[in-house]
Chain A
Amino acid sequence: NAGVTQTPKFQVLKTGQSMTLQCAQDMNHNSMYWYRQDPGMGLRLIYYSASEGTTDKGEVPNGYNVSRLNKREFSLRLESAAPSQTSVYFCASRRTPNTGELFFGEGSRLTVL
């Protein structure tokens, strides 16, 4: 039972470089989310996809783009990384957009130098 799988788990970038964080879920969930976690600030929503074919901005979308590739996969792209994007990123999914438990991946730790 893989659940929610994120890759890579660790990444170091230089300022200005680009990268994509991948997320896949095998629970046939409709909704998927990207959060970032910073000390003392909890988790903040970057983008979400309520269902396949839709994406919406969350609380902190600037500097990020997302793609809902299919029902299973939801990627997060940093086009030009900045030190302020150093964080731990979590992908999550749930069966429906507005009820039920969020299932989280194990996180991707990104450092931007």
Chain B
Amino acid sequence: AQSVTQPDIHITVSEGASLELRCNYSYGATPYLFWYVQSPGQGLQLLLKYFSGDTLVQGIKGFEAEFKRSQSSFNLRKPSVHWSDAAEYFCAVQANAGNMLTFGGGTRLMVKP
């Protein structure tokens, strides 16, 4: 069965600083990979996804993520964080022939002015 680990429960960065959120997965083959963002009191919104091809994927709101097969990782990055990026971020994995997304525990991002 697939699993996802987000090692950082909370991260605080200053506005304008760069950001990297970590995601490691466990799955026998190359899975489908996703990053979602959740603002307070809201549902989840897709930031980006990786199915195959170029291992660096671009998403909405200036986010990108890089799939590294050798490290079983799919880390999310943003070069310059804005106060509006404060939210909870979830990494998710799906077997490429499966129906079920498995989510990590989430990373809560706080942005200092």
Instruction: Give the interface of A toward B (CB within 8 A).
Output: 4, 31, 35, 40-45, 48, 50, 56, 58-59, 90, 92, 97-99, 101-102, 104-107
A99→B94 CA distance, assembly (Å): 9
Min C-beta distance of B46 to chain A, whole Å:
5
| Residue in A48, A58, A101, A104 whose beta carbon sits within 8 Å of that of B43 in the complex | A104
Q: Is B98 an interface residue (CB 8 A)?
A: yes
Complex CA–CA separation, A98 to B34 (angstroms): 13
In the complex, are the beta carbons of A107 and B104 less than 8 A apart?
no
Residue of A nearest to B46 (CB): A101
- Complex CA gap A58/B100 in Å reads 8
A105-B43 in contact (CB<8A): yes
Contacts of A42 in B (CB 8 A): 4, 6, 90, 103-106
Q: Which chain B residues have a beta carbon within 8 Å of chain A's beta carbons?
A: 4, 6, 9, 32, 34, 36, 41-46, 49, 51, 90, 94, 96-106
The total of interchain contacts (Cβ-Cβ below 8 angstroms) comes to 57
Known: A40-B105, A42-B90. A104 touches B99 (CB 8 A): no
Enumerate 13 A-B pairs (CB-CB under 8 Å) in ascending A order: A4-B43, A40-B105, A41-B105, A42-B103, A42-B104, A43-B103, A50-B99, A59-B102, A90-B44, A101-B49, A102-B44, A102-B46, A107-B43
Cα distance A42–B97 in the bound complex, in angstroms = 22
Q: How far is the CA of A74 from the CA of B90 in the complex (A)?
A: 24
Interface centre among B9, B36, B44, B98 (most CB of A within 10 A): B44
Nearest Cβ on chain A to B1's Cβ, whole angstroms: 9
Whose C-beta in chain B lies nearest to the C-beta of A41? B105
What's the least CB distance linking A62 to chain B, in Å? 17
Q: How far is the CA of A45 from the CA of B103 in the complex (A)?
A: 9
